[in-house]
Structure 1
Amino acid sequence: MNPHTPHSGPDDRDDYLVSRPRAWFAFAMTFALMLFDYIDRQVIVSLFPHLKEAWSLSDKQLGALVSVISIVVALGGLPVALLADRMSRVKSVAVMATVWSVATISCMFTRNYSQLFAARAMVGVGESGYGSVGAALIASLFPKRMRSMLLGAFFAAGSMGAVLGVMLGGVIAQRWGWQAAFGVVGFPGLAVALLYLLVPDYKTVELTSRLNKAKASPWNFIKHVASALSDSRTVWWTCVGAAFQLIVVSTVWAWLPSYFNRFHGAAPDVAAKQAALIVLCGALGAFAWGLVVDRAAARRPRNKPLAVAVLCVATLLVFVAAFTVTMPASQQFLLIAFGGFLMTCTVGPAAGIVLDVVHPGVRSTGAALLSLFQNMFGLAVGPFVGGAISDALGLQTALAVMPAFGLVAAACFLLAARHYESDLHRADNRLQTYNEVPLASASA
């Protein structure tokens, strides 16, 4: 092992922690795995019409096949990220990607709803902690000035993966049956998992000068981590706000293919392609709004959460109009697409805000806390609750009602803005004491 020694801490010097080519290789591989993560997660939504016909499932049951992954990810994310923060992030990611890819492939061999539900839960086991660990790696290898933009691009890979998952699922199911869709999308992740071992890792800074003593007791170590995470109101309000906005996102992602199929008479594969275009708009929005929010924060830091709050309200207004106002189908599609572009506004900035203010030694764990809220109280809620409302009142009503959660999200980001600058100042003071040193290779 030949560790590189940076000139100073990564955040105070605002520079790359490793060479630019190695940092961008790490970003490319982390981006690719996020892409396959969401391909495997979202492929099932385009298969809803086929599953409904084959097994006579309710919308609530179909939504649960999406929500179960988010619930498992939420429960497993913090323990996985805690281990990754103290051990090897790169090796942890490689193992996670292998597990979720194999679990996705196993879905093609299921013969009833219970088996498919269990296989989908195993996909969630593999995906636990990946987003938070990957985000922490990117945040540490790249300059702070690029953080929201790069994290927006990283999480936009989730939207792009959802696009490909929805589109591929519909096309493959139409030609070879819905079981084949799981097999086709599951194998590429295995190859990328092996290549990920070439990604550079970084050494973790100490939480306290007596960390070794704390690590002697698991309970004391957990208390150290909890203390490092719990002193920021910005983190908690951001986590709650991001979760509520993702209720809107997950509802749209899960139910648009069925909406176009039922209300516009589109064949399942055509409906999947139409929904994929909306999700693609979300991928573009995640990157674009990350860039916009970074620019707004350059003038004053608190503009970051304030800008996100405004965008959450705009998303609500657009979707309410799209699903309640009578208009030609083409106009409605354009309005839904614009809402799709707006709805991912929190993806990059929320992660950036949290990573800006948490202790540098628990970045993966801080991101995992955000992931817990996003998955348990955001991504898990939308498909299931939207399906339940659809069973009771109809799918169009569900799609008109669910965006109201964005108003709560906006209120949370307004509250985060009140504390962000003071929490940011405290975090910057810590960084003058700590220094992160990269590893020469993941195997070091």
Structure 2
Amino acid sequence: MIDASKNDASDVGLAQRASSGAMTAFIILFAMNLLDYLDRNILVSIQPQIRDDLKVTNEQWGLLMSVFLISYSVFSPVMGWLGDRYRRTWLLAFGVGLWSLATVGSGLARSYGDLVLARSILGIGEATYGVIAPTILIDVFSRHQRSRVLSAFYLAMPFGSALGIGLGPLIAKNYGWHMAFYVVGVPGLVAALFAFLLPEPVRGASEGIPVDRLKAHEKAGATREDYLDLMVNSSYTYSVFGMAAYTFGIGGMLVWVPNYLFNTRHFDQQRAGTMLGLCTFTAAIVGMTLGGWLTDRLAKTRPQALFLVSGLSMIASIPFVLLALFSTSEPVIYAMIFAAEALMFVNTGPCNAIVANVVQPNLRAAAFAISTFAIHFLGDIWSPWLIGKAADLFGDPETMASSYGQLLKAIGAVPTQVVGHPPENIVAGLLMVVPALLLSGIVLIAGARHLPREMALMQAKLKAAPRPSQAPETTAL
């Protein structure tokens, strides 16, 4: 048994260790995340040049996005298992280095097959980073800062997306699309070295639990029963399914909204890329900052706010998505994209904080990995391909002559055509985003009632002696 008289002193020392190096860790991990999403979206922003050069169809382009996400999702559970057992900083260095080499490989591609191979390898590296980095941040920052810290960390996602969307056309226009990948890949190789500067905290260092108890759980590792408990953890599953539906929507938008602006509304590519990047960036600052601050504030007295704020924001974004798709005014379209994205980004920090709050520290990398697998396999693995498929299908005059095609025509979702390409109906494809956002909002709101009980249960498990495990002991390699 642990001497209760020593708990206060232990917790003070624990807080000091948890805060040591926290900002260094945040800056390094944020920079890596920025490069991650810069790479993903520089591909999207230069799609006209790549598709013309490699003769890629809409369906193939959507499939290319899916290939990366399949690789990313399949390898995430493997990296999550490793991340709960071995030194996380070394795994991060491997992951960031591998994805950076794959990015350079994308620039070397001379065929569609080459590009598919490079993006598949990219997914392995990014899976390593994506499931391990949040667990380090959770351990080095206070529990009461989680929503804000994770919101700030994931700001790199839209910030990197905005930079990719804005810089991609500029680099491709002046130096060719191959150079765009080199510009992103080389800094990633440098960033991989900085992983060795990161702290390696005891798993659960921010939970307010004595260090010796945390080390006992870390040494024991997760048991089969822990994994089974995770699958019936209502807060965890509602959060994952809510994020999956959201990811279907936002993933499809990030891939196809640039094409919608270029081909459907015939906006200048470079100007549209810059404006869309600016909208995404500012929306992320507003949405993620508001989401993190508001939910941390409300959750002090009502933990359910993590779910409720996220769910209501998803539903509130739907009218703005519709206005963006059916308006013909350039200023209105950009304003509506900004409003929709700001509301959608509200959920990022709170939903990830839910996972951290209800999952034991020695299981968190696996929990984030399973979450990553689920949200992509149920979400944006399919949405870019399905939206591209629908855009081709409802570009066909025969399909538009059907009753559903006539309904789309009546609401303004009509085919357009770019010289040298068959007709397409990107608005019809992007309408798939609407039911996904509605479903996300409903699921997240439904999950709110479970959170207080499961947060208390996680803390009780962490304070108790660990279950016996047959798993190998956690090691620092």
TM over 0.5: yes
Q: What's the CA shift for 1:263? A: 2.6
Q: Given the alignment of the two structures, is residue 400 of structure 1 paired with residue 431 of structure 2, yes or no? A: yes
2:117 corresponds in structure 1 to 118
Indicate which of 460, 464, 470 corresponds to 1:429: 460
**Aligned-partner Cα distance in 2 for 1:208–1:15:** 15
Residue pair 1:244, 1:408 contacting (<8 A) in 2 also: yes
Task: Return the letter of the residue paired with 2:355.
Answer: V
Match of 1:420 among 434, 451, 457: 451
CA spacing shift, 1:189–1:330, aligned 2, 3 Å: same
Q: Percent identity?
A: 26
1:87 deviates by 0.5
Structure 1 unaligned runs (5+)? 216-220, 436-441
User: What do residues 313-351 of structure 1 show as CA deviations (whole Å, max 9, x unaligned)?
Assistant: 011221123213x45221121111111111122211111
Partner of 2:402: none
Name the SS for the 1:200 alignment partner: coil
In the alignment, the residues of structure 2 paired with residue 246 and residue 28 of structure 1 have an alpha-carbon distance, to the nearest angstrom, of 25
Question: Which residue number in structure 2 is paired with residue 290 of structure 1?
Answer: 292
Which has the higher mean CA deviation after the structures are superposed, 330-339 or 58-67?
A: 58-67
Match of 2:80 in 1: 81
For residue 211 of structure 1, report the CA deviation from its aligned partner.
8.5
Call closer, same or farther: CA 1:73–1:176 in 2, change over 3 Å.
same
For residues 18 and 299 of structure 2, the distance between their equivalents in structure 1, rounded to whole angstroms, comes to 26
The answer to whether 1:232 aligns with 2:233 is yes
Q: Residue 71 of structure 1 aligns with which residue?
A: 70
Q: What are the superposed Cα offsets for residues 50-69 of structure 1, whole Å, 9 maximum, x if unpaired?
A: 12222332222112222222
Give the aligned partner of residue 176 of structure 1: 175
Q: How does 1:123-134 map to 2 (within 5 A)?
A: 123-134=122-133
2:410 aligned residue: none
Compared CA separation, residues 302 and 275, structure 1 to 2 (3 A): same
In structure 2, relative to structure 1, the CA distance for the partners of 1:163 and 1:83 (3 Å cut) is same
Aligned positions of 1:45-444 closer than 5 A: 45-204=44-203, 223-284=224-285, 285-324=287-326, 326-393=327-394, 394-433=425-464
Distance 2:38 2:117 in 1: 18
How far the C-alpha of 1:208 sits from its partner, in A, is 11
Residue 443 of structure 1 deviates from its aligned partner by 7.9
Q: Distance in 1 between matches of 2:258 and 2:16?
A: 42
Partner of 2:31, secondary structure, is helix
Structure 1 position 264, deviation (Å): 3.0
Q: Offset at 1:165?
A: 1.5
Structure-2 separation of matches of 1:242 and 1:14: 32
Report the secondary structure of 1:86's partner residue.
Answer: coil
**AA paired with 1:371?**
T
Q: Does 1:35 align with 2:41?
A: no
Amino acid at match of 2:81: L
Distance 1:17 1:411, change over 3 A: farther
Q: Is the 8 A contact 1:296 1:303 kept in 2?
A: yes
8 A contact 1:104–1:186 mirrored in 2? yes
SS class of match (1:299): coil
Q: Would the alpha carbon gap of residues 404 and 379 (structure 1) be closer, same or farther in structure 2, given more than 3 Å must change?
A: same
TM-score normalised by length of structure 2 = 0.83
Q: In 1, distance between residues paired with 2:289 and 2:378?
A: 23
Query: CA distance change for structure 1 residues 63 and 17 in 2, over 3 Å: closer, same or farther?
Result: farther
Per-residue deviation, residues 147-168 of structure 1 (Å, max 9, x unmatched)? 0111111112111111112222
Cα displacement (A) at 1:170: 1.1
Q: 1:238 to 1:88 in 2, by over 3 A?
A: same
Change (3 A) 1:59 1:118: same
* 2:34–2:157 contact (8 Å) kept in structure 1: yes
Q: CA–CA distance in 2 between the matches of 1:95 and 1:225? A: 28
Report the counterpart of residue 438 of structure 1 in structure 2.
none
Q: CA RMSD in A?
A: 2.6
Partner residue, 1:18: 18
Tell me the amino acid that sits aligned with residue 69 of structure 1: F
Corresponding residue SS for 1:129: helix
User: Given residue 86 of structure 1, which amino acid in structure 2 is its aligned partner?
Assistant: R
Q: For 1:364 and 1:248, locate their aligned partners in 2 and report how far apart those are by CA, in whole Å.
A: 25
Q: Confirm or deny: 8 A CA contact 2:241 2:443 kept in the other structure.
A: yes
SS for the counterpart of 1:172 is helix
Cα displacement string for residues 34-91 of structure 1 (whole angstroms, at most 9, x for unaligned residues): 1111111221101111122223322221122222222211111111011111111111
Cα distance in 2, alignment partners of residues 175 and 165 from structure 1: 15
Distance 2:332 2:218 in 1: 59
Q: CA–CA distance in 1 between the matches of 2:351 and 2:233?
A: 14
Distance 1:402 1:64 in 2: 18
Contact 1:43 1:162 in 2 (8 A): yes
- C-alpha offsets along residues 423-442 of structure 1, whole Å, 9 cap, x if unaligned? 1111122233479xxxxxx9
How far apart are 1:181 and its partner, in Å?
0.7
The letter of the residue matching 1:59 is N
Secondary structure in structure 2 of the residue aligned to 1:18: helix
* Cα distance in 2 between the residues matched to 1:210 and 1:247: 36
